[in-house]
Amino acid sequence: MRTTFLALPTAALAVFVAFAARAAEPKHGGILHISHRETPPGLSIHEEATFSVNVPAMPIFNNLVIYDQHKPQNSMGTIVPELADSWSWSSDNLSLTFKLHQGVKWHDGQPFTAKDVKCTFDLLQGKGQDKFRKNPRKDLFNNIKEVTTNGDYEVTLHLGRPQPSLLAMLASGYTPMYACHVSTAQASLLRSWTTGRAGASRSRRSAMT
């Protein structure tokens, strides 16, 4: 009788461990359903001010850097590369240089390069011929005086004064990179109706090509 009582808890424990192991295995593919407070007006993060856009749109786009999604709290120490492989500050803290990951492609097959980064900041600052319909965070980037590229895989942000918080801004869900070869008018339509053309297809949180 004693042996029987010991066997039952042992068997139950084995079943529990096996079930927990299966539950911990990630599921690839499928559809993730989430509850959301409202229907977002569009999926262009740079052109909307509401957080309701970031929740569904952030997984579509990619940043240069991002907060580590496996850490419970964001801090400067939890910022990790995404479209950039590395970054460095100049000795006077007035230039922030990013080395970009090579081999990244947009979902239409076009390569992601430093030109896309420059175009994104030109759009944010209203410097390019192409314009956003709305630009609610334009003033946040006033301290960026110039964006220069060095080949296809290096880009530097030149500042008017030191701004340590800039890297934190770039790691947030409000500063994704946009495709330079897609006009804002075309992109706004696509972002309103589909997720197929807006984001880069290499990321530490999305599919790699």
**pLDDT tens string 109-148:** 999 999 999 999 999 999 988 888 899 999 999 999 999 9
User: Would 206 be classed as within a structural domain?
Assistant: no
pLDDT value at position 204?
A: 38
User: Would 18 be classed as within a structural domain?
Assistant: yes
Q: Which domain holds residue 45?
A: 2-193
User: Would 204 be classed as within a structural domain?
Assistant: no
Report the predicted TM-score, pTM, of the whole model to 2 decimal places: 0.76
Number of structural domains, the chain? 1
pLDDT tens-place string over residues 4-50: 444 545 555 555 555 555 656 777 788 878 788 888 888 889 999 88
pLDDT value at position 128?
A: 83
User: Would 208 be classed as within a structural domain?
Assistant: no
Instruction: Map residue 24 onto helix, strand or coil.
Output: helix
User: Would 25 be classed as within a structural domain?
Assistant: yes
User: Would 20 be classed as within a structural domain?
Assistant: yes
Handedness of CA 166, 123, 179, 181 (dihedral sign): negative
Which domain CATH number covers 123? Answer: 3.90.76.10
Give the mean pLDDT of the chain.
Answer: 82
Q: Are 40 and 52 in contact (CB under 8 A)?
A: yes
